[in-house]
Amino acid sequence: MGINRNHLILGGLLLFFLGVQFRVVESFTLSERSSSFVATRLGAGPTAQLASWQAPPLRKVVEPPRWLGLALMSVGAVLTIKSLSTKGG
């Protein structure tokens, strides 16, 4: 089963609206659980886990670059327009 018109329009719209979200919001604050997950996956290591019982859990703030929203909106728009030019299926 290949990619058809419906898949392209759905993917394009999702990317477009995700890009709009990145343009509107300046930063995202992760929950304590997701912050600890990111810390263990990105190399904070087990020493940060051992020290975490002494300090209150920190919430990581993610600030995506400004160009990311425009890039996602551009790719989403291209995919959506491409889906309109393909045969239905």
State the total domains in the chain.
Answer: 2
The residue among 77, 70, 84 whose CA lies nearest residue 20 is 70
Q: Which domain holds residue 10?
A: 1-23+66-89
In this prediction, residues 68-81 reach a mean pLDDT of: 96
The residue among 68, 71, 88 whose CA lies nearest residue 9 is 88
The reply to whether 56 and 36 lie within a common domain is yes
Question: Given this model, what pLDDT does residue 44 score?
Answer: 59
| Predicted confidence (pLDDT) per residue in 1-56, tens digit | 788 899 999 999 999 999 999 999 999 998 988 888 888 887 655 555 555 555 55
Q: How far is CA 88 from CA 4, 5, 6, 48, 84, in A?
A: 7, 6, 8, 53, 9
Write down the pTM of the prediction. 0.71
Question: Given this model, what pLDDT does residue 86 score?
Answer: 84
The reply to whether 13 and 32 lie within a common domain is no
